[in-house]
Amino acid sequence: MIKRTVLVENKMSITTKWNQLVLKSDLVERTVPLEDLGYLVLDHPEIYLSLPAMNELVAHQTAVIICGKNHLPNGMFLNLNAHHIQQEIFKHQISASIPLKKQLWQQTVVEKIQNQGLLLQRMTQTTNNFDFLASKVLSGDTSNMEGVAAQFYWKYFPQPNLERDGLKRERFGDYPNNFLNYGYAILRAATARALSGSGLLNTLGIHHKSKYNAFALADDIMEPFRPLVDEAVFELMENCQDQELNTQIKAALLNVLTRTVYFKTEKSPLMVALQKTASSLQQCYTGDRKKIKYPKLWNSTDTE
């Protein structure tokens, strides 16, 4: 089921009543059924969120995303009891062998590089050697083919309105990095929500290991999905002149979560696909699967 994403950018009081989220300002009041809500993005310093509302949101598996002064997502609330056998799943995840984690990371990097190559081909209408780079990824990506591919990817990433190719990717950079950073933060939140819903511990990553990172596993699993954000940013650069994050830009990037992706026998919105991917990762930890179930981001006719 596709869940709704609500972006709040004005001074607002957020409470609950009769299983509805109530958003009230001086000018308007509206309600949203809690069961329909997947993501609540809060981007104003004077938003009041009641504790009962917070508890109801978490109980309904809603990811509550808090934005900072720069309007980029800065934090998130997630349900810590999202799965009925969570403790057992934690045990499998914590005891996962190094070879298993290396194999899972190898698969993840291969998927990411292939998706980058497909998107670059779609944007530039020229072939590239990303399939070759993907074929050289070793267990655990010990030769850092992810980094090699990234150098080529950003070097040839087109910037339509600026009439040049090549982008210096910066975490705190200016346009279009601000668009990319916002989209990646939303994707990270959606991935973390899916992993939590499958009973997995977001703090314990496959590859990312920083002791300061509370969402290392989300940072791992979101990697193959990043090109969907890149594609959305490219389309924004083509179709609008705005270089600052505004409501229209944010809404377009939030819509990435409803983008259709493709499994072998079915298609689904990204937010649903993330749940399938997270569930398959859980099964890898428990020994029921050997590979993560990643979807194709474009179908065959799209990429021809």
Query: What average pLDDT values come out for the chain (304 residues) when binned by 10 residues?
Result: 88 95 93 93 95 92 89 81 72 94 98 98 94 97 96 93 82 88 94 91 88 86 98 94 91 95 94 96 95 94 52
CA–CA separation, 291 and 276 (whole Å): 12
The whole-number pLDDT of residue 82 equals 59
Q: How far apart are CA 287 and CA 115, in angstroms?
A: 27
Taking the C-alpha atoms of residue 222 and residue 230, their distance in angstroms, rounded to an integer, is 13
Q: Given the structure tokens 């009891």, which residue do they identify?
A: 81
pTM: 0.90
Query: DSSP alpha helices (H): ranges in the chain?
Result: 51-59, 86-94, 98-124, 130-135, 145-155, 177-197, 216-221, 226-239, 247-254, 270-286, 300-303
Q: In Å, how far are 5, 83, 200, 211 from 88, measured between CA atoms? A: 31, 10, 10, 23
Q: Where are the domains of the chain?
A: 4-77, 86-303
* Per-residue pLDDT at 171: 81
Q: Which CATH superfamily is domain 86-303 in?
A: CRISPR-associated endonuclease Cas1, C-terminal domain (1.20.120.920)
C-alpha–C-alpha distance, residues 211 and 208, integer Å: 9
At residue 304, the pLDDT reads 44
Query: Among positive and negative, which fits the CA dihedral 254, 151, 292, 202?
Result: negative
CA-to-CA separations, 277 to 37, 193, 194, 252, 291, in angstroms, rounded: 20, 12, 8, 24, 10
Closest CA to 19 of 31, 4, 3: 31
- Residue 140 corresponds to which tokens in the numbers above? 């655990």
The fold adopted by the segment(s) 4-77 is Ribosomal Protein L15; Chain: K; domain 2 (3.100.10)
User: What's residue 90's pLDDT?
Assistant: 87
Q: Residue 162 contacts by C-beta under 8 Å, 6 or more apart in sequence? A: 237
Identical fold, 4-77 and 86-303? no
| Beta pairing, strands 37-42 & 4-8 | parallel
In the structure, how many helices (H) and strands (E) does the chain have? Answer: 11, 12
Instruction: Give the pLDDT score at 1.
Output: 66
Token pair listed for 19:
């299983």
* Orientation of helix 177-197 relative to helix 270-286, angle to 10°: 50
Place of tokens 């329909």: 36
DSSP 180-194: HHHHHHHHHHHHHHH
Tell me the two tokens of residue 41.
């993005």
Instruction: Match 């930890």 to its residue by tokens.
Output: 285
Other Cβ atoms less than 10 A from the Cβ of 52: the count is 11
